[in-house]
Structure 1
Amino acid sequence: MIIEGDNLASLTALSYTHAGKIDVIYIDPPYNTLKAEKDDFTYNDKRIDATDDFPHSKWISFMFKRLKIAKSLLSYRGCIFISISDHEFANLKLICDQIFGEKNFIGNIIWNSTKSVTNTALISVSHTYNLVYFKDINYIIENRTKFRIPDTEVGFSNPDNDPRGPWKADPFQVGGWRPNQQYTIVNPNTGVEYHPNPNCSWKNDYENFLKLQADGRIVFGRTGNGGPQRKRFLSEALERGRVTKTIWDDIETTTNGTQLVKSIFGGVTAFSNAKPISLIHRMLQLGSYFDSTVLDFFAGSGTTLHAVMQLNAEDGGKRQCILCTNNENGICENVTYERNKRVIEGYTKPNGEYVEGLHDNNLRYYRTDFVGRSRSTKNMRRLVQLSTDMLCIKENLYAEKKTFAGLPTFKNIYRYFEQGDKKMLIIYDERYVDEIVKMVASVETDSKIKVYVFSPSEDPWEASFEPVNDKVELCALPQAIYNAYKRILPKRKPKDESNAMADSEDVDLGGLFAAEPEGGNE
């Protein structure tokens, strides 16, 4: 799913549809380099460069609002990866410590993002930071084996023809002194005695060591004349995965990412400095699950969606992905959308090689729209009208039916959606509630119908629906949307309280509506 529009507006809409539902967020925000010809940081429609009086303050304000909403979207097992450069790394770390909590900081991954050297620099920068936070570190501490990447087959062999297959010899010694892991190990081949080094211990206590030895898992070097080591079998390593390190120098660079986009577009440089799929792919291996929803609200060329589709193809996952970006210079329509459309359908490289599409995917395209924040009847009704696609997203239900209870639906009165055992009614005109209740009463259903109904208050016409209470689940609109937005949007300040440094962004309430990019299909 791609949402075109200012990402603050997109995040606001997602706060209603996806609060607590996102497992992984990856973002690559503006680095605020203050180089107008290179940077892409725009605040209140003004590009920020070195001539601005408050460049860092504006960047902090810009990021704080978005990250605060992002936290509300994360699930109980959710995590966020944020790419950043030296220019705002220190500020970003402080912002994230405040929003996500310093205790929920997992680490800072240093990615070797370029192989080239800038000879005019005093020190040629070749890295990008990637801050990692969890919504709740206690979850991943209790499930630490889930936060791992697949192990590799490098270094595994089977010199003794062990029937369990290839293995690798790991050290049998660990740091730290533990009294129950201090004992003598004798090499049976040489008779040499071994003890842990100072301030170290054997990896297991003596009882478990004997079990490992009896199971043929203890070896004494390749020749049998060394100290104790423990066999780690490839089959076990692939199943368990391995702990990632903070230095990622085995990942492709931005040059590779840019070249891939160029290849997808038939040799045309459609986007510069694109992140490589392998970077996002590894983050997804660490933080996502087979059924995760992934979000990127600085979508750029759309690498995150591409990586999600590729990982699903590899492991059979059912991950979903949401991309948010504006359409400045046509980037959303012509790059983000078009790239992933071609990835789904298949494309031909400049050398004539055809790349098969990832056909088991679909792509929906939405645009944000706005309603004034004053709660007039006109604004309330317009917000409900704009919320149809938002409700479809929230319920993951898109199959609209033209009839309900044998009668036709009417766009401005009510609409009906049904797929499998999921059913949804959206009632835009409350004057027809009594008639619709009669229709619901005539319908046989094994599952409750989710009914969203316009109401000027928080009451979803419960008294009217009482006769069919066992068939429906009610929700009053737009109050439910107002409540969600109220939790994340700041109160409006009088205009005379603003100043040049604050220069705050403002967001009206709004919804999403399905759209078709020019030259493309949904």
Structure 2
Amino acid sequence: MPTLNWIGKDKVISHHQNVPYRVLEHKYGFTAKEGEQTEPTHSGNKIIHGDNLEALKSLLPEYEGKIKCIYIDPPYNTGNESWVYNDNVNHPKIKKWLGEVVGKDGEDLTRHDKWLCMMYPRLQLLHKLLAVDGVIFISIDDNEQANLKLLCDEIFGKNNFIAESIVQSNSAKNNAKYISVTHEYMFIYAKNISQVKSNWNVKKSNVDEFVKRTNQLIKSSLTQDEIKKELRQLTKYPRFFDFDHYLYVDKKGPFRASDLTAPNSTKFFDIIHPDTKRPCKTGTRGWGRNEEQILELIKEDKILFGKDESVMPQLKNHLVDNINQTPKSVLFFDTQTTTKWIKANNFKFNFPKPIELIEYVLEIDNNKDSIILDSFAGSGTTAHAVLNLNKQDGGNRKFILVEMEDYANSVTSERVKLVTKGYGKGNKRVEGTDGAFDFYELGLPLFDENHNLNEQVDIEKIREYIWFSETRTQFKETKDKNYFLGKKDGSAYYFIYEKNNLTTLDFDALELVKTKGEQYVIYADNCLLPKEFMAKNNIIFKKIPRDITRF
């Protein structure tokens, strides 16, 4: 298999293992009903401000192997430094990181080398976070499309490649030097393709907008022929290609007409025209259904008759009954819709992703309880899409957003607040989705430069980390402050640790063990208990900091 090499690869290929684990400092919680609050909401929705490489590392104890769906829209490396969302690898934070990790070699890197150095460890951590049956979707354009394919083949495995979608927008670039490029790409990879369910089924893209346009025609005073003419024009737009046969409407909405006959059928009988009361025209083939079934279809208004009996009747296939399809590799979305929304609500952010694209991705995931991660969160479109879908189908999806820039609070989180509460005035008022989230900043490293526990870190954060590393479950502080962490699956966990003091697991320390378990996992700096005693009483000693799991 072809592999990709670049200057600095040897420095970053295992760098994700050396990224320091930083604690997440809770800044505030937010609920649509109560607004901001100091206490965590425990909603499961998170917005994290900080370097996404370090943030991804901080998510590992709780979320490794649990993220069902990842969508990222990384910098396209266009070289354009004038956008609010910096799309250039010369960002000061990236340059600083490259200098620390790659060293002097970083001075000779091309912008493509820099981009690959930036992406490689982040994709490695995303791979660790992805569930065994999870899928990652990555948006990109021509600047790094070829490099990204080889990068993902190496990290996720070429056999786990699902598809490369073309995402076409409706905005032409008339100032282009040669060709106006109106498309991007979206790579889709599985963690383990054998574990991913097949027969994907999604709502046809742009179907809601098409139905909305059709309903406007139904309410007009146009004749059926005039409506048909309007629909022919409408379906010439790329985003409505899927509906090019839906040229008729009735009270049930748009429909396409199909043949009522069937090859080799011997069912010949008269179908009476409802207006002329005469038998309709028939062909050389018999009807595809028996007479009783045809009469039932007529009763249900499922048969399309011509103006008189000279036209063969056809079957109505309503769009509402055929709204889903297998996802296609070419997608059309209106990029202006979300851009207009951003501007209308006074957010400063260029080129947000179409919310319909993210909703489409989440429909492919098709799990109402998924955790969705976006580590290049931008304006927060992914959270917006999650909240919209939860409102539509009663789902319980959770989002985790990571954003490096300072607008994580002023744009990303403010947009999510607005969506949950509702926005607009009068007849343009949009009801809120409801919901909650917690906002975090990256805090101190858990371990110092000597690989000891960082004594500046709050003890509760350390206890939380130990619990996560042992159980992979949410930590709930216990009333027992004497080193007890909790009990899970019969095991009782104790963390005997004090800042500035060495702790020892001995017979005196065992007096503090109040919660009984089938097994005891006890952390301390030293242990003086006899091995035979520990084996007899199912005690497992773990030395601080040596035996603390590193992610």
Report the TM range for the smaller structure's normalisation.
Answer: 0.5 to 0.7
Q: Report what 1:10 is aligned to.
A: 55
| C-alpha distance in structure 1 between counterparts of 2:427 and 2:467, whole Å | 40
Q: Residues of 2 paired with 1:147 and 1:77: CA distance?
A: 18
> Matched residue of 1:35: which SS?
coil
Q: What secondary structure is seen at the aligned counterpart in 1 of 2:379?
A: coil
Partner of 2:474: 397
Query: Structure 1 residue 247: deviation in Å?
Result: 2.5
Cα distance per residue 1:89-133 (max 9 Å; x no partner):
111111112222223222222223352433353212222211111
Mapped to 1, the partners of 2:257 and 2:507 lie a distance apart of 73
Q: Contact conserved, 1:27 with 1:297, CA < 8 A, in 2? A: yes
Structure 1: how far apart are the matches of 2:326 and 2:148? 25
How many residues align? The count is 430
**Deviation readout 1:352-398 (Å, 9 max, x if unpaired):** 96654433323242424325575544559969764455568785636
Pair 1:304-2:349 in alignment: no
With structure 2 as the length reference, what TM-score do the two structures score? 0.62
Distance, in Å, in 2 between the alignment partners of 1:478 and 1:233 is: 65
Label 1:234 to 1:417 Cα distance change in 2 as closer, same or farther (>3 A): farther
1:366-515 to structure 2, matched below 5 A, reads 366-371=441-446, 376-379=451-454, 386-388=461-463, 390=465, 397=474, 400-401=477-478, 403-404=479-480, 409=481, 414=483, 427-429=496-498, 431=504, 441=514, 453=523, 482-483=549-550, 485=551
Classify 1:225/1:115 alpha carbon distance in 2 versus 1 (closer, same or farther; 3 Å): farther
Q: 2:467 touches 2:485 (CA, 8 Å); kept in 1?
A: no
CA contact (8 A) 2:267 2:289 kept: no
Unaligned runs of 5+ in 2: 1-45, 100-106, 215-245, 271-280
Structure 2 Cα separation of the partners of residues 211 and 427 of structure 1 = 80
Structure with greater contact order relative to length (CA < 8 Å, sep ≥ 6): 2
- Aligned residue number for residue 28 of structure 1: 73
**How far 1:248 moved relative to its partner?**
2.2
SS in structure 2 opposite 1:244?
coil
1:169–1:229: 8 Å Cα contact kept in structure 2?
no
C-alpha spacing 1:436/1:114, structure 2 compared with 1 (3 Å): farther
Contact 2:140 2:186 survives alignment (8 Å): yes
How far, CA to CA, are the matches of 1:105 and 1:8 in structure 2?
23
CA deviation profile, 1:132-158 (whole Å, cap 9, x unmatched): 112233334x53145666876674989
How far apart in 1 are the matches of 2:200 and 2:352? Answer: 31
Greater gyration radius:
2
Tell whether the 8 Å contact from 1:453 to 1:474 is kept in structure 2 after alignment: yes
Matched residue type, 2:337: N
Q: Say whether the 8 Å CA contact 2:423–2:432 is kept in structure 1.
A: no
- 1:247 maps to which of 330, 351, 367: 330
Q: 1:37 to 1:373 in 2, by over 3 A?
A: same
Partner of 2:341: 260
Separation in 1, partners of 2:402, 2:532: 36
Please state if 1:44 is matched with 2:95: yes
Contact 2:282–2:312 (8 Å) recurs in 1:
no
Inter-partner Cα distance in structure 2 for 1:222 and 1:456: 88
For 2:532 and 2:319, locate their aligned partners in 1 and report how far apart those are by CA, in whole Å: 60
Alpha-carbon separation, structure 2, partners of 1:464 and 1:225: 94
Residue 289 of structure 1 pairs with residue 289 of structure 2: no
Aligned-CA RMSD value: 5.0
Tell me, what secondary structure is at the counterpart of 1:144?
coil
- Structure 1: which amino acid aligns with 2:373? L
Question: Does structure 2 retain, via aligned residues, the 8 Å contact 1:400–1:418?
Answer: no
Decide whether the 8 Å contact of 1:17 with 1:391 is kept in 2.
no
Other-structure match for 2:241: none
Secondary structure at 2:71's aligned position in 1? Answer: strand
